[in-house]
Chain A
């Protein structure tokens, strides 16, 4: 039966050759390490978000008077609604963590260098899109936490002179965060961003496949030695097959990521849903300690300590631009970061600063 289906497809699309080229004879470098699975786990987390998001969409009501109530219904009345909601909440944080780890490892191993600059740019744009996903999704439950965190987030652009107020109003759709903001963010979260990320993702994956997987610079691979003057695809003839070997490694990481996700759902269900997340939004009462989510604490704290708002926001924009365009700013050919102490120092310093600001933001 199986053979019959395979033959049917073989005659039409050349299934065997497809499997050979894309799976079994597609090889990954011998010295590939575990960090190379992070990208796939991030993709998996994204797919989980899409699926759970779709199911949540069936019961969520994007109207300010009913949004909070609909989420409570999902959590208490709809059978196993709590499971899908919790997966969506924890999964979103998992996705950000995996993307951050993926970014760090790509940076560390020089995977952004020629010829992979475009891949990096697309990746950073996806990171930003994911952050916007999180900010827009955060408002949807219309809780105290949602309302006030969004108020702060949409008010920050006012630091820009002249156009700042306009931008802030455009984001909110009204003077204050209101039902209009909710519907706007809903549209962005449910349609615009998924399409944008899908497009970026397809290009990103195409480039990875077309250019070829980079080799970790710490072993012998010979890639850094040849100057890149014309297109070529490194087939890693001495590597091992993508399928089933590397796919197996990716699945192991996925399983452990899911285990961590369900550990949080079982034993720390209120880690990402503090008390303010369970109180309906009240525009007349600001909770005592409103803070953005952990992934935004570092920029938030940085903004807080720079007394001049305009300078603060400009600095953040400059840093973001540098981040996106990094492969065009740092062009030395050596991919092994251990041979480049200043770059290594810069990497460690940035990471430490980010952690320090995040922790500071949490406790200040």
Chain B
């Protein structure tokens, strides 16, 4: 009898451990994410970026660029080219965005004009509030 009792006890322990080893991951799996949506906002004064110029800043760990377009105002997107990851450059004289690695051309909306990139540049939300612009 003793052997059987011991065995039952051992099995119950193992069983509970196994159950717990699934319950814990499940709870973590279902729990809401821990402050993942850290929407850090960056604010600039409109005057910091004259018309036709651009400013390069890191945003959310990603190199980003804010352009003050001549016709459509401010826009912010990631500088990471959607082809292989090189950082795009804004040429203010020719008023266009070009990637130095394989010559990809983007328009000032971030869309691909020509070249190998498969997707447009990632845009960041931008609001104009009075004299300042808020990114994020």
Contacts and interface: CB of A to CB of B under 8 A. Distances in A.
Asked if chains A and B come from one complex, the reply is: yes
8 contacts: A55-B30, A58-B30, A79-B25, A79-B29, A80-B25, A80-B28, A81-B29, A83-B25
A78 B29 CA distance: 6
B37 interface: no
Contacts of B30: 55, 58
B55 to A, nearest CB: 30
Interface string A67-104: 00000000001111101100000000000000000000
B26 interface: yes
Interface residues of A, number: 9
A58 B31 CA distance: 12
Residue among B25, B31, B36 facing the most chain A CB atoms (10 A cut-off): B25
Nearest to A82: B25
B98 to A, nearest CB: 24
Interface of A: 55, 58, 77-81, 83-84
Nearest to A83: B25
Contacts of A55: 26, 29-30
A80 B25 CA distance: 6
Main secondary structure of the interface of A (DSSP, over half): loop
A55 B26 CA distance: 9
A84 B28 CA distance: 12
A257 to B, nearest CB: 14
Q: How large is the interface on B (under 10, 10 to 19, 20 to 34, 35 or more residues)?
A: under 10
A21 to B, nearest CB: 26
Contacts of A83: 25
Given A80-B25, A80-B26, 11 more contacts: A55-B26, A58-B30, A77-B33, A77-B36, A78-B29, A79-B28, A79-B29, A80-B28, A83-B25, A84-B25, A84-B29
A80 B23 CA distance: 11
A84 B31 CA distance: 15
A58 B33 CA distance: 13
Those 7 A-B pairs whose CB atoms lie nearest each other, nearest first: A80-B25, A79-B28, A80-B29, A80-B28, A83-B25, A79-B29, A78-B29
Nearest to B14: A255
Contacts of B31: 79
A101 to B, nearest CB: 24
Contacts of A80: 25-26, 28-29
Nearest to B29: A80
A285 to B, nearest CB: 11
Contacts of B29: 55, 78-81, 84
A84 B27 CA distance: 12
Interface string B14-36: 00000000000110111101001
A58 B29 CA distance: 10
B97 to A, nearest CB: 23
Contacts of A78: 29
Which of B25, B29, B30 gathers the greatest number of chain A CB atoms within 10 Å?
Answer: B29
Nearest to B118: A282
Nearest to B25: A80
B24 to A, nearest CB: 8
A83 B29 CA distance: 10
Interface in B31-59: 31, 33, 36
B35 to A, nearest CB: 13
Contacts of A79: 25, 28-29, 31
A80 B30 CA distance: 10
Contacts of A84: 25, 29
A2 to B, nearest CB: 16
B19 to A, nearest CB: 13
A247 to B, nearest CB: 14
A46 B1 CA distance: 37
A198 B9 CA distance: 36
Nearest to A59: B29
A137 B30 CA distance: 22
Contacts of A81: 29
